[in-house]
Amino acid sequence: MVDAATILSMFDYPFIQRAFIGGVCAALLCSILGVFMVLRRSSLIGEGIAHLSFGGIAVGLFFAIYPLFSALVLSLLGILAISYLQRKKIVYSETAIGILFSFGLALGAVLASVKGGFSIDLFSYLFGSILTVSTDDLILIIILTGVVLTFVGIFFKELMHMTFDEQGARLSEVPTIPLDIIFNVVVAFAVIVSIKIVGTLLVSSLLIIPAAASLQLSRSFKETVTISIIASMISVIAGLVLSFVYDVATGGAIVLVSLGIFVICVLGKRLIRSGELPKKATS
């Protein structure tokens, strides 16, 4: 049984402090952007960027470049490629994402097989590790978090309009195409922020699951965002504690907690509905 003193003592370690700050940033960004993505039914873009970033990380480790920087560059190039293929109607958006998805995984696999010396480092990027969040990582995470929150804060109304009525937003002279591209760019930023905490294979779960959980109970858009943030924060903090105490993969622990929250929200929604039906019948 883990007591409160043990949990509090973990924050004496600098690497836990860095992981906690990075985790809070990741939870905040993913929970907010995830709501827009789930409602727009564009969750696949997060999955595509995450797997493309895996190839970027492999490039960084192979050429001794800062991995998160190479992952960010490749992710941004991938976003532009997806946008180009979609706008030119060469392929559908889902197909473009699938192509880049495959490219990222294939590139990472080839580079890992050519130079197997970074297999341990690559594993930490795949599944997340609280031990690997460095000061440089934290600086990049904080900068990207500030950029994303600023963008969302400035264009919140436009993004909400595009989410519920893209055609109406276009008729209202909202610059939907540039905003859509920039939104995908900030999703890439959120993915990079979350890689060290959750890992490339599981980062899309942090974008999708808290948002999906919040939609079970919320009655308005702002309430959806609020519940998503709370669910994501609980998932990340609980996952970090479980990872430290039981020495398990950070990303896996966070995602399992978020899945538990999702199940609770689904069951809670059913209980609420079952309680409302008798009232309606008797009224």
Model confidence over 173-196: pLDDT tens digits?
899 889 999 999 999 999 999 998
Q: Provide the 3-class DSSP secondary structure of residue 180.
A: helix
Over residues 7-23, the mean pLDDT reads 89
Number of domains composing the chain: 1
Residue 247 has pLDDT above 50, yes or no: yes
Task: Give the Cα separation of 82 and 79 in Å (integer).
Answer: 5
The structure's pTM equals: 0.89
CATH number at residue 148: 1.10.3470.10
- 3-state DSSP call for residue 235? helix
Distances (CA, A) of 41 to 47, 68, 93, 121: 13, 27, 12, 33
User: 12 lies in which domain range?
Assistant: 4-282
Q: Which residue has the tokens 């991938």?
A: 78
Residue pair 200/126 in contact by the 8 Å Cβ criterion:
yes
Whether pLDDT at 277 is above 60: no
DSSP assigned state of 170: H
Q: What is the pLDDT of residue 120?
A: 62
- Report yes or no: 272 and 219 within 8 Å, Cβ to Cβ: no
CA dist 33 and 108 (Å) reads 26
